[in-house]
Structure 1
Amino acid sequence: MGKTIQVSGFPYLIAADVVKKFLEQHTGQGTIVALEMKPSKKRPRAYARVQFAHSRYAEMIQYLASTRLYYGTSYLRVWESDSDIVHNPRTYMHEMEQVTLNFGCQTSREKFSVLWKAASVSVKFGTGLKKMHFLLCHNSVEYKLQLSYENIWQIVLYHPRGQTAKLLLIQASVQDNTGETGTDIFLSYISSYLAPRIYKKVNCSVYSYFSETQDDQWIRTTDFTPSCIGQSSGLCLELPYGMRLPNFEDHFIYYSKSENPFHLETGASFSHNLELVPILHPPRGLELPYRILFKVCSLVQTGCLPGPKLDARFFQLVNPQRINTKYVEHALEKLYYLKECCYDPATWLMEQYQKYQTAKEQPKSPAISLDDGLVYVHRVQVTPTKVYFSGPEVNVSNRVLRHFSDYIDNFLRVSFVDEEWDKMYSTDLSPRIPDIEAVRGGIKYIFSDGIGKISPEFARRVAVRCGVKNSTPSAFQIRYGGYKGVVAVDPISSVKLSLRPSMLKYQSENTKLDVLAWSKYQPCFLNRQIITLLSTLGVKDHAFETKQREAVAQLDNILVDPLRAQEALDLMAPEKILTFSRKC
């Protein structure tokens, strides 16, 4: 007998939880995996499809029904179901209940600053500990936080001498942690970028029950705390006394234990703006250059510096009005490459500056000179929970960057990514942006697939400036003033550029032509479909036969004439040349 049965005879549609409680009086609590209540054809009667964790529980209910099983005064009948409600129910390698989850930052080797905490959290470990799920309830809403194996760098189990309690801490920087406990067990995971994926549970029908919430009931959401998850560089689990832990040794190379003390303390938000976190700002009255402040924020976001420890003394030590700018930039760059988080950054900076002052050679700027056409641009990556600063990175210059080269620090390259730098998919996004039609001066601006034209003479000049010397591309992707789109070469046009009104996206007085891309040689084959179309348009058969003879003759000449071989390679697409070379 299978695990799923159909129980009929209920007097009316009853809530799934009520039926579950009734059946588990006979089979035991937690034995039902899924339950669905359905209306019967003989209304108002109803029946239930019930899937148990094991077939013996289904057999137990079937046996009771054969000896008269009643729900109130209604006699129940049982049939075996052909299919399960949940196929391949999810199983976990290990589960822990009644855990206290703390988000925050480690501020020293002995302290962890707690920004937000949740009690009665369930922790579930997937197969091979590849996934860790934290299930909790906040303001009557159920949430799931998911951490992947790739996030975790190190696990440290803290068990102070003379205490029965233990501690496990999850940290966001590659560092060697030692610590102590307050009252219970804690776990320590260390990763370069620690940010869980957050899911919110949507309400399902009262006539359905699932022991494990189905995937379609979890939807992606953002930080539901006062931006505390986004500001945190670690998380700390307090577990009840005597709880069994999973076997971390078999799955994590960098698993260790410590008997040193570790304390949890109440912390406070340190981010300047709670819309995007963590972003810091110097104390009132102190102004720092943009590049310096950008670097400081980046160090906090990557776990190199603890945000709560950056006080007024620290910001004074990175102030170029007091400290040599080269000293500051070199020291901040060096912080990226430390093996552990710097818990006393002010003292560390003072030591570095003293070394610079006594050194024979002064520190050099970490930036290197770039070739023409390349520029340094700062980069920002925004995830659903936090923001990361990086760079400045090398980027290809464009018209706007060249025009405002004196203000290059005012530009940012912004990208939106998922946690762990994965791509964002349509299923992760909320369709909150409606269709927008802009009307200005009575003209409606729309997008279209119409293209403009460019004269052959001007196209040749543009091609030369782009480094295309042997031929003229048939089309260019351009930006001109407020126009953007594609222009194709018109053999009979004498006007340099002919642009459609729909290509105008905004008003601009800029008259420089930007070329983003141009058409290149692509292989084209006279297959059956193209020949049929051309024949229908009036092309005679002898034209195809002539082309075929020319192609065969060219292949013959390639084998004996190097110049013909070179001509053939020039006409081939780059990827075809690479494939051809590999085969040779």
Structure 2
Amino acid sequence: MGSLGAQERDQKELVVSQVSFGGFDERVSAKDLTDFLEHEAGLIWRCRMKNSWTPPESYPNYNVLDVSDVPRKDDYPKVVPHAFVHFATPDAAKRAINAAGRCELILDGHPLRVNSGIDSSSRINQRRTTDPFRFVDVGVEIGTLASRDEFLVAWKGPKSGVDFLIDPFDGCCRILFSKETAFTFKDIKEMAVIKCDFKVEFLVRDINEVKLFTDRYPLVMLFQLSSTPWVYYRTADDDIHVTASFSLLDDEDPWIRTTDFTPGGAISRCSLYRISFSPRYGRILEKSLAYLRERRIAEHWPKRPLAVLEEPEFSTLMLDPFFSVQYKEGISFSIMFLVDALVHKGIVNQHQLSEEFFALLRSQSDAVNEIALRHIWAYKTPIFDARKRLKLVQDWLLKTPKLLKSSKLLDDSTEVRRLVITPTKAYCLPPEVELSNRVLRNYKEVADRFLRVTFMDEGMQPLNNNVLNYYVAPIVKELTSNSFPQKTTVFRRVRNILLDGFHLCGRRYSFLAFSSNQLRDRSAWFFAEDSNTSVMAIRNWMGKFANKNVAKCAARMGQCFSSTYATVDVPLDRANPLLPDIERNGYVFSDGIGKIIPELATEVAEKLQLTENPPSAYQIRYAGFKGVVAVWPGDDDGIRLSLRPSMNKFESSHTMLEVVSWTRFQPGFLNRQIVTLLSSLNVPDSVFASMQDSMIYKLNQMLVDTDVAFDVLTSSCAEQGNTAAIMLSAGFKPQMEPHLKAMLSCIRSAQLGDLLAKARIFVPKGRWLMGCLDELGVLEHGQCFIQSSIPSLENCFMKHGSRFSGLKKNRQVIVGTVAIAKNPCLHPGDIRILEAVDVPSLHHLVDCLVFPQNGDRPHANEASGSDLDGDLYFVTWDENLIPPAKKSWIPMDYTPAEPKLQPRAVTPRVSDLI
């Protein structure tokens, strides 16, 4: 049915529509299927047929360099034949889908089954607007520079069959080739050998610069990348028939993320890609360079030729997954860690680390070496003589002794080393000062043996589920009913590191634990055991985690790693762990909140240097308890801290009262979720537009109008704007003071960025407040108490050490209808409409949202199923933001599912983190 007229149409105007087919016999070729479908439906541009897939429970084994010698396994589960077909028009694709639905597509006695794909709704109108710049049968080499004119090759691509594409359609560059690959099965020596397509992909914006060598054969482009590329594979097509003379979009045969397939870890270690090609691609080169110039990619035409040499260990299998220098005699761990940081960042090539370089490190103290290596780590470009550069920096430091003076760490601070692990490489990051936690404070003598490991994608992007798992193509899923995700080699890499640990700088690190926040960030704590301290000993010290639910047990252990301030030691006999919970109708109204007497609260405030304006409530960790303690008078019985059973998470004898956060002035901002819900409750969109316009106007004016700048700083910046506010009040003007202008510009840029990305609109009549409980029981259901602080210039000075004879207590008791919400909020009932009332007996609570203990259901639970263990609530008393009905939507039921229990108490397994 494909007509000549259709073929003569402008090809770029034709919409590409992809449909997947199955159900045909394995003897059918791609040409046979194309002829049949063209006769029944319409013109076809491409048909890719496959009989191969990644066998279930198998992984590609890149350690096998020669597949001809491996013992073969051919009885693995095979996939049914299927094909990915690109029709020329959506009408042809629709005819094929409808005909298959009526069982009218019968090929050799077999009815064809069809799948239009998961993304069919978006693909049906997707077409190329630009063709890629394709260089066919190129040479590709990955390596590093030994000098400005010497290129060290770490890996060479296949001698033929390699394509290189620069694609303006999606802003990506791709290296494509095929090779035979061995696949390993669990507990089986034999391997499957399958031909696979590989794709090395990077974004155009990740190109730092491109160098052109076009004065000799072959032509060469040398790309320097700022980030490691993504590496993919998929089993190759078994047959293909193409009639289109132009480039088509990829089909729905999934590319699977994988690890570095080069034997020496070239993709992991190297950032230079040398692409060589025939001069007949000179015209395409000109067009591709014009595109790169549009994208503002730096372009250089060196006059001197580039010598190409092979690395000393070229094609040698490297078993260290991090490609790090493990240990050198006479050099401390802290210095070796920084040396590895230089190697991982690409500042120093590992082949430059000669004995002369390490001898130079041994000749100076750790203090000099640490600052010198940190200085070199800050470089933006590689250095070619590591020993010479280190010597220069060491001499410079020795001539300037004041640079060697290090600041003393505060009691609640500690230096934390981090290791970032990506699918292909790892990055040692220099130690950073962070707020400490219970475990690091207790084991401060071996604090340098703790390591925080974060699993991320290339380019320091979040490691999402699609990197760890993959699904078969939609047509295969339909034909085989295989709807379960398969694990990738990246998952295997992460799992092996977590299960088996790893060696770094002469130490062996083992998994210790992770906190709930770290779990969201794909992070965990590792520890390098010594003769005196083991992982099990640390876990035993942390407490008794007698929980039969794995997730809860892991969260309890992570509680010990919360960043906290150690304040006052409260003996167990001065704490009441059995303050009764307030329960009704299956709800715990007092979930997560206790009491602290004013005297102890004052001591805590003194420890935190908050005596001028002491908080009304603290989010705390104490022994195995977590939650909030609000200030309430005691009973003269010696009890200083009253905690409820709902706060108790595990058994511990730790008696230091640790503070996570406290009540303070926090300006109110909307976000996209709150805006959406308020709009669904009939708050006019014009209200949000007006507030947004006002915010943008003030942010634009703050660089030229000091009054507006001061208003923005004191009302919407909390403590972050104190320094700038003090400078403005002292008479400095941004037009005359560069530092002040820079601070204001940063604040403006940050707020505009959040406004664009999150719809973070400032609400003058709004706050973020910590939830507390009315212990007196005076508030009725539907009521709340709010007393918010109002920032003042005196408070700004006070936070910077100044003292006044009478500090202004700028506080405002809110009376009237208020709307509250707690993130995340996705249901209209998550916006609660309450009546704020003035209760003199609650006036000692400031910057708190005080909920009643009366009623059928806690208001905190009604708002996104939250509780009172430290959750922050958005509160506004702006009449324009109160829904016109002035009443709450029916709240959603947030009753949790029954936890999955094990038959006995458990310890979190590493697999639970995965």
Provide TM-score, normalisation by structure 1.
0.65
1:221 is the counterpart of 2:258? yes
1:566 is the counterpart of 2:603? no
Where does 1:277-292 land on structure 2 (aligned, <5 Å)?
277-283=322-328, 286-292=329-335
Where does 1:94-493 land on structure 2 (aligned, <5 Å)?
94-119=133-158, 120-127=161-168, 130-138=171-179, 139=181, 140-160=195-215, 163-168=216-221, 188-191=222-225, 193-201=226-234, 212-214=249-251, 217-226=254-263, 227-243=265-281, 244-245=284-285, 246-249=287-290, 250-251=293-294, 252-267=296-311, 268=313, 274-283=319-328, 286-319=329-362, 322-336=363-377, 338=379, 340-353=381-394, 359=399, 361-362=400-401, 364-365=403-404, 367-430=406-469, 444-446=548-550, 447=552, 454-457=594-597, 460=601, 464=605, 476-478=619-621, 480-481=622-623, 483=624, 485-486=626-627
Deviations 1:267-303 (A, max 9, x none): 22799984432311355xx231122111111112222
**Letter in structure 1 aligned against 2:448:** D
**Letter in structure 2 aligned against 1:382:** I
* SS of structure 1 residue aligned to 2:440: helix
* SS of structure 2 residue aligned to 1:276: coil
CA distance in 2: counterparts of 1:455 and 1:353, whole angstroms? 55
* SS of structure 2 residue aligned to 1:247: helix
Which residue number in structure 2 is paired with residue 516 of structure 1?
A: 660
Could you tell me whether the CA contact under 8 Å between 1:20 and 1:35 is conserved in 2? no
* SS of structure 2 residue aligned to 1:261: coil
> Gaps spanning 5+ residues in structure 1: where?
38-46, 59-70, 75-80, 169-187, 529-538, 551-562
Deviations 1:364-388 (A, max 9, x none): 2274445553333222222221111
**Letter in structure 1 aligned against 2:458:** E
Could you tell me whether the CA contact under 8 Å between 1:228 and 1:269 is conserved in 2? no
- Call closer, same or farther: CA 1:24–1:102 in 2, change over 3 Å: farther
* SS of structure 1 residue aligned to 2:423: coil
Could you tell me whether the CA contact under 8 Å between 1:282 and 1:312 is conserved in 2? no
Deviations 1:467-526 (A, max 9, x none): 676677567342x45x36436669899694657599556x765443333245779999xx
Could you tell me whether the CA contact under 8 Å between 2:34 and 2:44 is conserved in 1? no
Q: CA deviation at 1:241?
A: 4.4
How many aligned residue pairs are there?
A: 491
Deviations 1:14-55 (A, max 9, x none): 6462336758999xxx97145799xxxxxxxxx999644589
- Call closer, same or farther: CA 1:115–1:497 in 2, change over 3 Å: farther
Q: CA deviation at 1:132?
A: 1.0
The worse-fitting range, judged by mean Cα deviation, of 200-209 and 330-339 is 200-209
Deviations 1:46-68 (A, max 9, x none): x999644589x99xxxxxxxxxx
Q: CA deviation at 1:154?
A: 1.0
Could you tell me whether the CA contact under 8 Å between 1:271 and 1:280 is conserved in 2? no
* SS of structure 1 residue aligned to 2:432: strand
Where does 1:4-43 land on structure 2 (aligned, <5 Å)?
13=25, 15=28, 17-19=30-32, 32-33=45-46
Deviations 1:190-238 (A, max 9, x none): 24x4301122326899999996433661232222333332122322223
**Letter in structure 2 aligned against 1:190:** Q
CA distance in 2: counterparts of 1:269 and 1:310, whole angstroms? 17
Could you tell me whether the CA contact under 8 Å between 1:453 and 1:498 is conserved in 2? yes
CA distance in 2: counterparts of 1:329 and 1:523, whole angstroms? 41
* SS of structure 2 residue aligned to 1:114: strand
- Call closer, same or farther: CA 1:523–1:408 in 2, change over 3 Å: closer
Deviations 1:337-392 (A, max 9, x none): 556422122233345556667x4x44722744455533332222222211112222
**Letter in structure 2 aligned against 1:224:** F
> Gaps spanning 5+ residues in structure 2: where?
1-5, 7-13, 51-81, 94-105, 110-115, 182-194, 470-486, 499-538, 556-587, 669-677, 682-778, 788-807, 815-845, 850-871, 879-914
CA distance in 2: counterparts of 1:275 and 1:423, whole angstroms? 24
Which residue number in structure 2 is paired with residue 88 of structure 1?
A: 126
- Call closer, same or farther: CA 1:289–1:228 in 2, change over 3 Å: same
Could you tell me whether the CA contact under 8 Å between 2:155 and 2:266 is conserved in 1? yes
RMSD: 5.6
CA distance in 2: counterparts of 1:89 and 1:382, whole angstroms? 37
* SS of structure 2 residue aligned to 1:236: strand
Deviations 1:129-188 (A, max 9, x none): 83112222242222222211332111111235xx332222xxxxxxxxxxxxxxxxxxx2
* SS of structure 1 residue aligned to 2:462: coil
Could you tell me whether the CA contact under 8 Å between 1:452 and 1:497 is conserved in 2? no
Could you tell me whether the CA contact under 8 Å between 2:341 and 2:427 is conserved in 1? yes
Provide TM-score, normalisation by structure 2.
0.44
CA distance in 1: counterparts of 2:653 and 2:152, whole angstroms? 54
Q: CA deviation at 1:105?
A: 1.9
Identity of aligned residues (%): 20
CA distance in 1: counterparts of 2:603 and 2:357, whole angstroms? 53
